[in-house]
Amino acid sequence: MMEEGLFIKNKLVREALDKGFIELRVHTDTGDKAKLKANLELQSRLAETTGLPTFVVIDTSTEKTLRRKSGVMGEAEFLEFLVPTKK
């Protein structure tokens, strides 16, 4: 599970997230129908998909989406997604 393995246990990912990111998790596996509907609408608005997992980097000052990616990623790919290097 990416939440446990990548976000919590991985030191490099945790350090990257702690530097300039505000983490928001939208859980769409709730049993509460009202919360589920609201969360799916929020996910659809922010991520433009309801596919899981989906990751989005948004500039909080402009609310512009900078990067978006769906699918499971390993450590190196996720770090590159968070902080792209110039190639």
What is the rounded distance in angstroms from the CA atom of residue 27 to the CA atom of residue 8? 17
In the prediction, which pLDDT does 25 show? Answer: 86
In the prediction, which pLDDT does 74 show? Answer: 87
36-81 pLDDT tens trace: 999 999 999 999 998 889 999 999 999 999 999 999 888 889 999 9
57 by Cβ neighbours in 10 Å (0-12 / 13-18 / 19+) ranks as middle
In the prediction, which pLDDT does 12 show? Answer: 85
pTM: 0.80
Neighbours of 10 (CB within 10 A): 18
What is the rounded distance in angstroms from the CA atom of residue 85 to the CA atom of residue 53? 23
- What residue ranges do the domains of the chain occupy? 2-82
